[in-house]
Chain A
Amino acid sequence: MIRYILRRVLGAIPLLLAIVVIIFFVARLVPGDPVSAMLPENATELDRQRMIALYGLNDPVLVQFWKYLVQLVQGNLGTSFQYHSPVSELLLRRLPATLDLAIAAGLFGWILGIVLGAIASIKHNKWQDRIASVVGLVGISAPTFWIGLLLIIYVAVPTGWFPTGGRLPADVVPPGPTGMNLVDAIIHADPGLFFTSLKYLALPAITLGAAMAGLLVRMTRSSMLEVLGDDYIRTARAKGARESAVNFRHGLRNAGRPIATVMGLEAAGLLSGSIVVETVFSWPGLGQTLVNSVDFRDYPVIQATVLMFAVVFVLTNLAVDIAYSFIDPRIRY
């Protein structure tokens, strides 16, 4: 087991390196030279030369790449054009918001998806099954950002129960230390803060989790239907096991692997989905930072945010792969 985990972790390194290489070179595709893009209109030729020297743009590309790598390892992601502050600080400030959103959406999607899927397969061909199947189909078919817009227009605005953007009211100072508001509220044992942040979090999390719920309903339903037709289920019934034990201990547990696969794939998908959802709900996370920095052509931030997303993406996939070997001991690598 340890050898397997070690091999997988080592195997992720070339992939991460490939991502760094691709991001570095795609970022160099900027039309014209980056220096002119950064300098003000009235800059002199001398300013230009200084800028080129400052950013080491006279060096051969490979030398530049090496310097970039060294800086990366040291945690230096450059300076934002837009905010004139280190990119790493900016990203670390924004990361908790995205994690908050992704985790809440993931929990919503997993719980709803697996519960509905299990009910659908147990009540096969009954009305519960039909409803769950429709929920699944709608979940995977409705565009995420459209669900978000509809929730704002037809739920948040008319009822006034949910805010339409942001993470907390302007007069509430996030207490820290993690920056993830729900976690912080629990740490400080502050139910008021907890419910306020939950109100802000609810609609974005539902929006982001909907697609995942849809996929999981379908996956859970079909893999449980397959399992429930197996011989050992009949054996379990024959020996007089309770129906709930048959369905959950024998059924759902054995259907777990394909479900876990989808959960894993989607965990990474939550990240890319968060880019859209954060834009719709003005959620101050990494995704919104990325979209804003694209508007401002803030290349250091774009490059670093994409890199950060990619690294989290790869690590999530890795964690899921390793989790499999715990979920299903039949897998031998």
Chain B
Amino acid sequence: MAMVKISDDDRPAEQPGSMNGAVEVRTPVRTLSFWAKVRRMLRRPGAWSVAVGGVILLMFVIIAIFADLLAPHAPQAQDLLNKLKPPAWSDGGSTRHLLGTDYLGRDILSRLIYGARISLIVGVATALGAAFIGVTTGVIGGYLGGWVDASIQRVVVVFQAFPFILLAILLVAVTGAGTWKVVLILVLSRWPAFNRVARSEALSQRTREYVLAAEAMGSHSLRIMSRHVLPAVAAPSIVVATFSISGAILGEAGLSFLGLGVPIATPTWGNMLADGRNYMYADPWLTIPPGVALFLIVIAANILGDGIRDLTDPRLRNRTR
């Protein structure tokens, strides 16, 4: 990690040790080069979390995108002569199936790699969909205020109180499993979080000088909302989005585990854990790889979210942690 070094060089000698390395002495304002800015960023609270969480998440994204190239076998291919094989490093394992095989002789590593796709698609699609609805309604409500805001808030309250997991179970029970149904339900359950954040930020933007100036110049409210309010809403929304990704991934895995999410034949981590549960006494290994993958991707998204929140929180900006 080259960035570690740069940051160490740049740190003043009299304040060593602190892992998070917050800016403790305000340096006088001067123009900084790009790398100096990066160094400075890394010393702010949360910067390391962003780097670590982001790198792990990026690895999963790369795995998901290049699943076809990385997976040693097709995820559905059955090798019935070699079913329930242990991983390569234990007795009876072979390098043909590095992480072993399941009860149909399907390669666990390959299913794991393809499973990253579903998890990320569900996570990202949920976050995008929920962010679109939540931020739009939040900015409009927060900026315009009045009856528009009041009626949007009415709807938000209803959505917040509605138990969507149950709706998901009912919908899937009645109409069958489906990835996009899961996404739809997760979007419906998650947009109020975006709305809350966007609305409160938009409310505070409404009284800023540049917004007032734009109003005085006669800008259309649509233009003010998109050019002046929306950028300020972006940072807190990104924080909510990262937590939404992790929440949606856990939600999908839970529903799939119950057989109520993504169709059973699709290689997803939740489905793999459901299969593993049926063989947990005979072959406990089956529950380990998909569980670890899920845990890792969710913890990475959460660390990233924590980091972005600390990084963009003005109250923490000049505080030693």
Q: Would A15 and B158 count as touching, CB distance under 8 A?
A: yes
Question: Looking at the complex, which of B94-102, B133-141, B293-301 is the stretch in contact with chain A?
Answer: B293-301
CB distance from B157 to the nearest CB of A (A): 8
Q: Say yes or no for A146: interface residue by CB 8 A criterion.
A: yes
Distance A172 CA – B132 CA, assembled complex (angstroms): 55
Contact with B along A127-167 (1 / 0, CB 8 A): 00000000001101111111001101110010000000000
Query: Would you call B284 and A137 a contact (CB within 8 A)?
Result: no
B 37-67 contacts with A by CB, 8 A:
none
CB contacts under 8 Å to A, within B159-180, are 161-163, 165-167, 169-176
Contact indicator B299/A141 (Cβ below 8 Å): yes
**Could you tell me which residues of chain A, from 284 to 333, have a CB within 8 Å of some CB in chain B?**
290-291, 294-295, 297, 299, 302-303, 306, 309-310, 313-314, 317
Given contacts A18-B158, A143-B254, contact A26 B166 (CB under 8 A): no
Residue A23 is within 8 A (CB to CB) of chain B in the complex: yes
> Smallest CB–CB gap between A138 and chain B, Å?
7
Asked if A272 is an interface residue, CB under 8 A from chain B, the answer is yes
Chain B positions 296-321 with a Cβ under 8 Å from a chain A Cβ: 298-299, 302-303, 306, 321
Assess the B287–A150 pair: CB atoms within 8 A: yes
Among B170, B174, B276, B294, point to the contact of A143 (Cβ < 8 A).
B294
Residues of B within 8 A of A268 (CB): 163
Number of contact residues on B: which range applies? 35 or more
- Closest CB-CB distance, B250 to chain A, in whole Å? 6
Complex: how many Å from CA A144 to CA B291? 10
Q: Which of A248-292 touch B at CB < 8 Å? A: 268, 271-272, 275-276, 279-280, 290-291
Given A309-B163, A317-B161: A145 and B254 within 8 A (CB)?
Answer: yes
Using Cβ atoms and an 8 Å threshold, which residues of chain B touch A271? 163
**B185 → A minimal CB distance (Å):** 11
| Complex contact A143–B250 (CB within 8 A) | yes
Q: How many residues of A contact B (CB 8 A)?
A: 47
Which residue from chain A places its CB closest to the CB of B18 in the assembled complex? A125
B291:A140 contact, CB within 8 angstroms: no
Which of B273, B298, B302 is within 8 Å of A145, CB to CB? B273
How far does the Cβ of A124 sit from chain B's closest Cβ, in whole Å? 9
Q: How far is the CA of A314 from the CA of B160 in the complex (A)?
A: 10
Residues of the B chain whose Cβ atoms lie less than 8 Å from the Cβ of A39: none
Q: B175: shortest Cβ distance to chain A, in Å?
A: 5
Q: Which residues of B contact A40 (CB under 8 A)?
A: none
Q: Are B166 and A310 in contact (CB under 8 A)?
A: yes
- Residues 232 to 252 of chain A near chain B (Cβ within 8 Å): none
Interface majority SS on B: helix, strand, loop or mixed? helix
Chain A residues in 8 Å Cβ range of B253: 143, 145
Is B174 within 8 A of A276, CB to CB? no
B114 close to chain A: CB less than 8 A: no
Tell whether, in the assembled complex, residue B277 and residue A26 are in contact, meaning their CB atoms are under 8 Å apart: no
Given contacts A26-B167, A153-B284, A309-B166, contact A276 B298 (CB under 8 A): no
**Residue pair B277, A149 in contact (C-beta under 8 Å):** yes
Residue of A nearest to B249 (CB): A143
- Which residue on B lies nearest to A279, using beta carbons? B258
Q: What is the chain B residue whose CB lies nearest that of A290?
A: B169
B285 to chain A, nearest CB (A): 10
Does A19 sit at the interface, judged by CB under 8 A? yes
Across the interface, name the chain A residue whose C-beta is closest to B176: A31
User: Is the Cβ of B291 less than 8 Å from the Cβ of A146?
Assistant: yes
Closest B residue by C-beta to A14: B158
Residues of A within 8 Å of B150, CB to CB, are none
CA distance A290 to B259 in the complex (A): 12
**In the assembled complex, how far is the CB of residue A325 from the closest CB belonging to chain B, in whole angstroms?**
17
Q: Please tell me if the beta carbons of A280 and B277 are within 8 angstroms of each other in the complex.
A: yes
Known contacts being A27-B174, A157-B281, A280-B277, is A145 close to B166, with CB within 8 Å?
Answer: no
Which A residues fall within an 8 A CB radius of B?
15, 18-19, 22-23, 26-27, 29-31, 125, 137-138, 140-146, 149-150, 152-154, 157, 268, 271-272, 275-276, 279-280, 290-291, 294-295, 297, 299, 302-303, 306, 309-310, 313-314, 317
- Listed from nearest, the 9 A-B pairs whose CB atoms lie closest are A141-B299, A146-B291, A272-B165, A294-B173, A313-B163, A153-B284, A141-B298, A306-B166, A149-B287
